């Protein structure tokens, strides 16, 4: 789920339901969900990477997982149409990776995830229709199911938590090809399958929810990140606790939009279909 700035709406693709994966495309605009029927589209999948590539003015999709395993295909979405890119070089098949558009360096950053083998910690850049493997001297440990977004106020990509050797709550930044671990005095608890997005109106990164594998707890807390520091938001209300929600900043309305997710920690998973918005510290 991501905001398509060129077309002016939030885009949602696929995901996992109670008994199957989906291949449907939806837009969210002015508080209304609309199902699109593009003639061609990616196959049904979950845990794919989805990001808006501002340089090309298109939504970029990579990989994910389906009933056969992990996928390694690259697609672009623009003006209601999906187009598959057939590229000689691309990341290996994977899901639950992080993808963010680095506005300062003008490329999409892809990090980590889980493929057919061990968890990954490679870093890729996508620009001008091509993938390039980067070689940073240091990087976060191999992991999946973390939060990652571009922090426009601070000018870097931010990564938080995920499943590494165990559930993690470390904070990293990526800028100019370099990963740097931060040491904030306060941070959200260890978690996986969280949602994280940059709130342009507030000028902060917003984190919501996720799962703690140690306690089998689901979270419904809201955190803000700015200037290397995390701050718990004392919201009077919030969406119910969940893992794997979709979340995007709707530039047209100036609000963060959250949709769906799982309301139980493990199978059988109950899947939600509710929509919430967040602005100025208030969920509605």
pTM above 0.95, yes or no: yes
Question: In the structure, what pLDDT confidence band is assigned to residue 269 with cuts at 50, 70 and 90?
Answer: confident
Q: Where are the domains of the chain?
A: 2-283
Alpha carbon distance 41, 48 (integer Å): 14
Alpha carbon distance 142, 149 (integer Å): 18
Q: What's the CATH superfamily of 2-283?
A: Kelch-type beta propeller (2.120.10.80)
What is the pLDDT, as a whole number, of residue 11?
A: 98
Which SS3 state, helix, strand or coil, does residue 45 take?
Answer: strand
- Summarize pLDDT for 204-246 with one digit per residue, the tens: 999 999 999 889 899 999 999 999 999 999 999 999 999 999 9
Q: Percent of the chain beyond pLDDT 90?
A: 94
CB–CB of 157/151 below 8 Å?
yes
What is the pLDDT, as a whole number, of residue 167?
A: 86
- Summarize pLDDT for 95-151 with one digit per residue, the tens: 999 999 999 999 999 999 999 999 999 999 999 999 999 999 999 999 999 999 999
CB–CB of 68/116 below 8 Å?
no
State the residue for tokens 């969210």.
Answer: 28
Question: In the structure, what pLDDT confidence band is assigned to residue 19 with cuts at 50, 70 and 90?
Answer: confident
State the residue for tokens 């991501």.
Answer: 2
Q: Percent of the chain beyond pLDDT 70?
A: 100
CB–CB of 113/98 below 8 Å?
yes
Nearest in space to 281 (alpha carbons), one of 213, 217, 233: 233
Alpha carbon distance 236, 64 (integer Å): 35
- Summarize pLDDT for 157-191 with one digit per residue, the tens: 999 999 998 889 999 999 999 999 999 999 999 99
User: Starting at the edge strand that comes first in sequence, how are the strands of the sheet with 282-283 ordered?
Assistant: 246-250, 255-262, 271-279, 282-283
């Amino acid at each position: 789920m991501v905001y398509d700035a060129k077309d002016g709406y939030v885009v949602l693709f696929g995901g996992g339901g109670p008994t199957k994966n989906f291949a449907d495309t939806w837009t969210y605009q002015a508080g209304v969900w609309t199902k699109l029927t593009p003639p061609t589209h990616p196959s049904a999948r979950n845990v794919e990477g989805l990001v808006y590539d501002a340089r090309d003015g298109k939504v970029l999709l990579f990989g994910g997982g389906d009933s056969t395993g992990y996928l390694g295909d690259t697609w672009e979405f623009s003006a209601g149409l999906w187009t598959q890119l057939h590229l000689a070089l691309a990341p290996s098949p994977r899901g639950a990776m992080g993808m963010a558009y680095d506005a300062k360096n003008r490329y999409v950053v892809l990090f980590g995830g889980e493929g057919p083998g061990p968890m990954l910690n490679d870093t890729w850049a996508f620009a001008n229709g091509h993938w390039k493997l980067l070689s940073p001297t240091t990087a976060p440990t191999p992991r999946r199911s973390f939060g990652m977004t571009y922090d426009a106020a601070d000018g870097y990509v931010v990564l938080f938590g995920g499943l590494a050797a165990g559930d993690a709550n470390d904070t990293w930044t990526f800028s100019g090809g370099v990963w740097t671990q931060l040491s904030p005095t306060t941070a959200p608890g260890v978690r996986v399958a969280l949602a994280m997005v940059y709130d342009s109106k507030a000028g902060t990164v917003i984190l919501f929810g996720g799962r703690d594998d140690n306690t089998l707890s689901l979270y419904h807390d809201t955190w803000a990140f700015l200037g290397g520091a995390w701050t718990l938001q004392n919201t009077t209300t919030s969406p119910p606790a969940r893992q794997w929600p979709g979340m995007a900043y709707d530039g047209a309305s100036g609000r963060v939009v959250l949709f769906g997710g799982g309301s139980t920690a493990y199978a059988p998973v109950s899947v939600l279909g509710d929509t919430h918005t967040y602005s100025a510290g208030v969920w509605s």
